[in-house]
Amino acid sequence: MSVPVGHYQYDQIDRDFLEARIAEFSEQVARRIDGSLSEDEFKPLRLMNGLYLQLHAYMLRIAIPYGTIDSKQMRMFAHIARHYDRDYGHFTTRQNIQFNWIKLEETPDILRDLATVDMHAIQTSGNCIRNVTSDEFAGAAADELVDPRVHAEILRQWSTLHPEFTFLPRKFKIAISGSPHDRVAARFHDIGILARPGDDGRTVFRIFVGGGLGRTPIIGQEIFDSVPEERLLATLEAIVRVYNAHGRRDNIYKARIKILVQALGIDAYREAVEAELAQMDLEHYRLTPEMVDAIQARFAVPELSAPENAAQELANRQRENPEFDLWVRSNTHPHREAGHIIAVVSLKPAGGIPGDATSAQMDRLADLADEYSFGELRITHLQNIVLGHVRQDRLYDLWSSLKEVDLASANIGLIGDIVACPGLDYCALANARSIPIAQKLGARFGDASLQAEIGALRINISGCINACGHHHAGHIGLLGVDKRGEEFFQITLGGRAENGASIGTILGPALPEDDTVDAIARLVDRYLGIRKDGETFLDTLDRLGDAPFKEAAYETV
């Protein structure tokens, strides 16, 4: 088997481990079914294998390490959707995929099928170090300094089965980026890592701790500015150890590392980590250049070559076809290599369900990945799909094919690119439904030219305070709240996940669903009326504050 582009090639150790794990879980499922395990005993075991019990059925969350898969793996998702689910899957903001209609008795078979393409559902739930997320443009973006996926893979290997970190006080999320433009929301993670090249040719890491969303949104603080590569694992180990030892276990709402960092203060936390490092056997944790290079060698590098006139070809096509031009403007990103471009496939058709894809779409995406991007696909933290290495002169053909399967919405980064959690239609914890309001907003602003006119504007929707839809980080955030059994939405403005990370502020009283949609439409209208030339929604908000928007939103007719 040839080495896949974009992700690590499993070795026998990885495969043996998966096989053993599936055998163990199959046993546990059998014991649950025959009654020798109670639900209370079984729940933590199934969660360790990504299996939830949701409103209507079991839900299986499959890990996509650093968001990268190959076409075979995508076809496996299509197979699972067709054979074990209701013909679709849901891509999440943590770059994973969820299937909503899973049967407990079939789960071992699903895991066996997944293992044939080196995939599993471990580290997608429970109080462990969760699947590590990364930049969806890794290894392709023109603005990238270091491809973070090699180190993301090292973190996967370090964290999977780490005996010390299997029962942390609470879930633990790590994101890593190698670009100065933060596309991973590094400061909203328990640990956020920004990689850059060091003077000696090896990688250096800036590390943030204690960020998070949920009911207590907190922006992560810098704990170390320049951790050398060889100290990366020791440093992370020490950070997690301090948390494991001192994080609260008495109160689930205060158990995340962010609460501990707040309680101690970042300086005291750093001192505790340094004290831990001082007594660790650093040699044991040393990440040597040889180790890094060996992992690197298990990633294939795409052989990029494009004709001289590729850029010209693309420009010509854009001139000829305004619809294509609009899509190129919103749905592509500059590639590091001349003649290439990064294409983002929107999973947000107007009026559709954000992040959902049918098995037919998954199969088609796998084919297109083979045809246009070395068989590699990435899932974005905004619930879209990236083809990372497309030749510019072939982009038009790709777009034409995407149109055939309803995957050519031109809305990336625009108001139609809505992020929404599953909400009350699926989730047992929800207060309100997130999807219907997303669909109404998506339909309201569906027109591609209108979206282009409105410009950069993110809407994020969560069905409850757990904030799986990142509403705190949305330029416009919507939070579902329960008012005497009815669904209401609280609007926040001004959140952002990127470099100047900030948490949105509440605009006013929560509104029912339809009123919320109308309020947002008025608010966007007001923005279009008062913006200065070249201003984005956030620029106008920064300049004028939220008063004009509040007035528009709560204006009664």
Partner 1 sequence: MKRPVRVGAGEKLVLTANRLLDGTIVWRDRLGRWRPVIGAAEKLDAERVGDVLELAQIRAQEDGVVGVYEVAVRDVDPPEPVTVRERIRAHGPTVHPEFAVETVQ
* 463, 474, 494, 495: residue in contact with ligand SF4 (rule CB under 6 A): 463
CB of 466 to ligand SF4, least distance (A): 4
Looking at the Cβ atoms of 92 and 203, the one nearer to ligand HEM is 92
DSSP-assigned states of every residue in 40-103: HHHHHHHHTTTEEE-SSSEEEEE--GGGEEEHHHHHHHHHHHHHHSSSEEEE-TTS-EEEEEE-
Task: Give me the residues that bind partner 1 (CB under 8 A), please.
Answer: 32-33, 35, 38-39, 53-58, 86, 101-105, 353, 424-426, 428-430, 432-433, 435-436, 439, 485-487
Name, in order, each residue with C-beta under 8 angstroms of 158's C-beta and a sequence gap of 6 or more. Answer: 233, 236, 237
- If the CB atoms of residues 98 and 235 are measured against ligand SF4, the closer one turns out to be 98
DSSP 398-442: HHHHHHHTT-----TTSTT--EE--GGGT-TT-SS-SHHHHHHHH
Q: Which amino acid is at 79?
A: H
Per-residue x/- marks for ligand SF4, 422-441, CB under 6 A?
A: xx---x-xx-----------
Q: Does 464 sit near ligand SF4 (CB under 6 A)? A: yes
- Residue in the block written with tokens 């969350």: 61
Residues 104-143 within binding reach of ligand HEM (CB under 6 A): none
CB nearer to ligand HEM: give 178 or 422.
422
The residue (of 49 and 71) whose beta carbon lies closer to partner 1 is 49
Residues 49, 92, 380, 411: which binds ligand HEM (CB under 6 A)? 92
- What dihedral do alpha carbons 417, 423, 424, 427 form, nearest 10°? 140
- In the region spanning residues 396 to 425, those forming contacts with ligand SF4, defined by CB under 6 A, are 421-423
Q: Check residue 213 for interaction with ligand HEM (CB under 6 A).
A: yes
Distance CA 206, CA 190 (A): 14
Partner whose binding site includes residue 435, from ligand SF4, ligand HEM, partner 1, none (CB under 5 to 8 Å by kind):
partner 1
Query: Is residue 472 a contact point for ligand HEM (CB under 6 A)?
Result: no
Closest distance to ligand SF4 from the beta carbon of 253 (Å): 13
Pick the piece of the chain touching ligand SF4 (CB under 6 A) from 346-354, 382-390, 400-408, 462-470.
Answer: 462-470
Radius of gyration of the chain (CA): 23
Burial state string for 453-475 with b = 16 or more CB within 10 A and e = fewer than 16: ebbebbbbbbbbbebbbbbbbbb
Nearest distance from C-beta of residue 537 to partner 1, angstroms: 27
**Binding site partner of 38, from partner 1, ligand SF4, ligand HEM, none, Cβ cut-off 5-8 A by kind:** partner 1
Q: Residue written as tokens 């590094």?
A: 186
For residue 122, CA distances in Å to 131, 156, 161, 312, 449 come to: 8, 11, 9, 46, 42
C-alpha triplet 185, 95, 470: angle, nearest 5°: 45
The token duo for 509 is 């009283």
Rounded to a whole number of angstroms, the minimum distance from the CB of residue 217 to ligand SF4 is: 13
Closest among 138, 241, 234, 257 to 194, alpha carbons compared: 138
Which residues, 219 to 258, sit near ligand HEM by CB under 6 A? 256
Could you tell which of ligand HEM, partner 1, ligand SF4, none binds residue 433, using a CB distance below 5 to 8 A set by kind? Answer: partner 1
Alpha helix ranges (H) inside 144-302: 149-159, 232-246, 257-264, 266-278, 282-285, 289-296
Cβ proximity to ligand HEM: between 256 and 270 the closer is: 256
Interface residues with ligand SF4 (CB under 6 A)?
A: 421-423, 427, 429-430, 462-464, 466-469
Task: Give the residues lining the site for ligand HEM (CB under 6 A).
Answer: 52, 54, 92-94, 98, 170, 173, 212-215, 256, 421-422, 426-427, 429, 466-468, 470
